[in-house]
Amino acid sequence: MTNYPHHYIVKASGQPQGSVTAEADNVLPINTAPPVEFGGPGDQWSPETLLMAAIADCLILSFRAIARASKLDWQELTCEAKGVLDRVDGVTRFTEVILTAMLRIQTEADQTKAQRLLEKAKQTCLITNSLATECRLDAHVQIDQ
């Protein structure tokens, strides 16, 4: 890991109609559009869905690092991020994010440790820590025997 601060640069471009293209060094560009709720086509990533993707992705990557450091064996972690967008005091913003995480592990003996590490991943996720909205975690650990 490199020293802080880190810098992340994304360039977006668009015309009066159509998709917006977002680009960053060394990754494929993506096309975005407003979601259906804002009159968009609903068939492309939107700023709203990208934010939820960033939150779910960050939880999994945070958990991966914490589990590795804690020597927890696990098979799979899925995370659904559900954002509630509302208008509060004349400002449209996310008022809540609910994370539903499902972690698969092999042994029942690791269940308490796995649950604790999921909570720690939520607490250390840099994306949720950067948001002003409440983020709740509904974590489930499944034992595959």
Does residue 85 contact residue 93 with C-beta atoms inside 8 Å? yes
Distance CA(69)–CA(89), nearest Å, equals 43
Number of domains in the chain: 1
What confidence score (pLDDT) does residue 74 get? 97
What confidence score (pLDDT) does residue 120 get? 98
CATH number of domain containing 69: 3.30.300.20
pLDDT higher than threshold 80 for residue 86? yes
Q: Is residue 24 part of a domain?
A: no
What confidence score (pLDDT) does residue 10 get? 97
Q: Is residue 27 part of a domain?
A: no
Q: Is residue 4 part of a domain?
A: no
3-state secondary structure of 85: strand
Percent of the chain with pLDDT over 70: 100
Sign of CA dihedral 106, 112, 113, 114: positive
pLDDT higher than threshold 80 for residue 145? no
Average pLDDT, whole number, for the chain?
96
Per-residue pLDDT of 111-141, as tens digits, reads 999 999 999 999 999 999 999 998 999 999 9
Q: Is residue 2 part of a domain?
A: no
What confidence score (pLDDT) does residue 20 get? 97
Q: Is residue 13 part of a domain?
A: no
Decide: residue 121, CB within 10 A, 0-12 exposed, 13-18 middle, 19+ buried. Answer: buried
Q: Is residue 120 part of a domain?
A: yes
pLDDT higher than threshold 90 for residue 69? yes
Q: Is residue 85 part of a domain?
A: yes
Q: How confident is the model at residue 1 (pLDDT cuts 50, 70, 90)?
A: confident
pLDDT higher than threshold 80 for residue 26? yes
Q: Is residue 74 part of a domain?
A: yes
Give the domain extent around 82: 47-143
